[in-house]
Amino acid sequence: MCVSQLRRVVEATSDDSVSVEDQEGRRSVVSLLAYIGEPPCAGTWLIVHSGLALGAVPAAEAEATISVVARLQNPDK
């Protein structure tokens, strides 16, 4: 099963890709070939699936989702 994940844009690497980081700070490059909209800038949260950015998510929504997922993964914390 594949799951889309939230990633924050660190920088543009080319016209069709951006460098992103996950919640632990690990960086990777994702493609914008499936992304529709204005090119994302640093700090933008993206929904990423299989190396493709699918869309942008408002920061407040991304942070709330990350918080819920963290609580579900670590219920004792």
Contacts of 27 (CB under 8 A, 6+ apart): 10, 19, 20, 21
User: Given a cut of 80, is residue 1 above it in pLDDT?
Assistant: no
Task: Give the architecture-level CATH label for domain 5-73.
Answer: Roll (2.30)
Chain-centre distance for alpha carbon 7: 2
pLDDT at 70: 83
pLDDT at 23: 85
- Taking the C-alpha atoms of residue 30 and residue 63, their distance in angstroms, rounded to an integer, is 20
More confident residue, 8 or 1: 8
pTM, 2 dp? 0.86
Question: Which tens digits make up the pLDDT trace of 15-71?
Answer: 899 999 998 899 999 999 999 888 999 999 999 999 999 999 999 999 999 899 888
Task: Parse the chain into domains and list their residue ranges.
Answer: 5-73
